[in-house]
Amino acid sequence: MAGRDAAFGVVVLGAIGTLLIFVFGVVVLALAASVSAPIQFTTDVVTVGAVSILLAILSAIFLFLYWDSVDTGDQAAWGVLLALMGAFSLWVGGGFFVGFLLTFTAGIVAVILANLPDAPSSSIYPSVPTSPRDRTTADRHGEEGLVTPTEPKPSAPNAMWMPAGGILVWLCLKCDHQNPINTQVCENCGVHRKIPT
């Protein structure tokens, strides 16, 4: 999982891109209001400006949710949505193109950081419990010199069922002898029948 510093970098990158997309939408709306042009052109320009502002708002929401989440799966999901908002912004102008680049890159970096493995030091060195509540039973037994009880391992099977000549038999896994189903001991080597369940 990415550290907070890396996540902060993603948020800053995405926030700048989102701001550029928002400013682009406001500029386009202002131009549509100030220019006298055919109605169809004005309607299209207003749509582009409104969509840019909507994408900027959605990107800002996804950035906040990315920053607020602690689960790597959630961070990856918000990163994907942020990258999608950046890609959609390119369709309507991309926030002077730089907004698209920054927002899309922030989303991709968020996904990459969310999928990075934890720091290698945590897997090499065991964590030290900070309070008695954090210690496991094995920790307490190790400190007190006690042996931690372990569950007995199940014994390996010595036989398996199989059909032979239209009847069911059990095959001794020690000597490969086919024994009748009603016998408990191998007729060839004397091993007791233990069949996996």
CA pair distance 33, 50, nearest whole angstrom: 13
Q: What is the pLDDT of residue 121?
A: 47
Indicate whether 143 belongs to any domain: no
Indicate whether 79 belongs to any domain: yes
Q: What is the pLDDT of residue 130?
A: 56
**Residue 25: CB partners within 8 Å, gap ≥ 6?**
48, 49, 50, 51, 52, 53, 54, 55, 56, 95
Amino acid at site 196: P
Indicate whether 56 belongs to any domain: yes
Domains held by the chain: number: 2
Task: Give the angle 82-87-89 at the CA atoms, nearest 5°.
Answer: 95
Q: 188 is in which domain, residue-wise? A: 156-197
Indicate whether 176 belongs to any domain: yes
Model pLDDT for residues 74-121, shown as the tens digit of each residue:
899 999 999 999 999 988 888 889 999 999 999 999 999 888 876 554
Low-confidence ranges of the chain (pLDDT < 50): 1, 121-124
Indicate whether 150 belongs to any domain: no
Indicate whether 126 belongs to any domain: no
Q: What is the pLDDT of residue 102?
A: 92
Q: Single out the residue in 117, 148, 169 at which a domain terminates.
A: 117
Indicate whether 142 belongs to any domain: no
Q: What is the pLDDT of residue 122?
A: 45
Q: What is the pLDDT of residue 123?
A: 45
Tell me: do 27 and 81 sit in the same domain: yes
Tell me: do 8 and 102 sit in the same domain: yes
Q: What is the pLDDT of residue 84?
A: 93
Tell me: do 21 and 112 sit in the same domain: yes
Tell me: do 104 and 11 sit in the same domain: yes
